[in-house]
Amino acid sequence: MSKTILITGAAKRIGREIALSFFNKGWDIVIHYNSSKNDAQVLADEMNAQRDDSAIIAQANLDNADEIIKLADQTLSKNNRIDALVNNASTFYPTPIGDFSEDDWNSLMGSNLKAPLFLMQSFSKELKKNKGFIINITDINVDKALINHSIYLAAKSGLQTLTQALAKELAPDIRVNAIAPGVILEPPNTEWTTEQKNTIINSVPLRRMGTEKDIADAAIFLSEAEYVTGQILNIDGGKSLS
Ligand SMILES: NC(=O)c1ccc[n+]([C@@H]2O[C@H](COP(=O)([O-])OP(=O)(O)OC[C@H]3O[C@@H](n4cnc5c(N)ncnc54)[C@H](OP(=O)(O)O)[C@@H]3O)[C@@H](O)[C@H]2O)c1
């Protein structure tokens, strides 16, 4: 039986690349999506065409506790097992003081903090049995106080703290690490001008934006790094140094 991994928010962008990288290493993939059903199905079809029954898609709005539990059940129904979880799905938008509501709090906390914690809890027994691992995707801006993003940053800081706390609590059976991306892709539905891009690139010591593959390579590294737990791996071209 192939090892099975759930990647949240895997229909597009960074999550999709992480899913493809694990698929190429022989894993079976549960592709979680919320609204991007078509992209998720195209990716699953691509994988199943190469290897029979290697991928399924599973829908859930991660703001909703019942849907998180349903996603865990659907994941386990794939092969009756789970070996790894990547908490990648994320809502990202500014919430300047004076301008946010409880809905914004729930939405930014849901995908970035609540769902990762409840998924880790749902899978802890199975992951323990299979000596599995968890990778949480955080953000280097946690330490940079990105202006007007206090709720998003609080959620990602919480996810960083959960990574360390659960690495200790779930050891020695389950390894829990995080990847903190720097500037990888423009936010969804945003197009930076050339001038904005150049300013950003000039703030990165390696003088380029990252790629989806830079993050996926780090995920594969962590999957194989059997003496590493509780670590936050910055994949940011050195931006966190500046
Ligand atoms: N892009 C960057 O440069 C960058 C920088 C720092 C950190 N990161 C982190 O890296 C990870 C991937 O980044 P990305 O830019 O590829 O992410 P993204 O495109 O902004 O979001 C990934 C997916 O999250 C899903 N999602 C959002 N809200 C959801 C909800 N309430 N329930 C379920 N799914 C939800 C969406 O799925 P559907 O499309 O199916 O709705 C979306 O496709 C994220 O955790 C992000 O915070 C990225």
Q: Write down the pLDDT at residue 189.
A: 87
Q: Consecutive sets of 10 residues in the chain, 242 residues long: mean pLDDT of each?
A: 95 99 98 98 98 98 97 96 98 97 98 98 98 98 95 98 98 98 94 94 97 99 98 97 85
Ligand 1 mutation target, pool 8, 14, 61, 208, most atoms within 8 A of CB: 14
State the virtual CA torsion across 195, 184, 13, 21 in degrees, nearest 10.
Answer: 150
Q: Write down the pLDDT at residue 242.
A: 77
What tens digit of pLDDT does each residue of 77-115 get?
999 999 999 999 999 999 999 999 999 999 999 999 999
Q: Which residue has the tokens 């694990």?
A: 22
Q: Write down the pLDDT at residue 63.
A: 97
Q: Which CATH class name applies to 4-241?
A: alpha beta
Read off φ and ψ for residue 9, nearest 5 degrees. 60, 45
Domain ranges for the chain, please list them.
4-241
Ligand 1 mutation target, pool 7, 20, 34, most atoms within 8 A of CB: 34
- Alpha-carbon distance of 186 to 166, in angstroms, equals 31
Residues in the ligand 1 pocket, defined by CB under 6 Å? 9, 11-15, 33-36, 61-63, 88-92, 110-111, 137, 139, 181, 183-185, 188
How close is the Cα of 10 to the center of ligand 1, in Å? 9
What global pTM score does this model have? Answer: 0.98
Q: Which residue has the tokens 């903190």?
A: 180
Q: Write down the pLDDT at residue 1.
A: 77
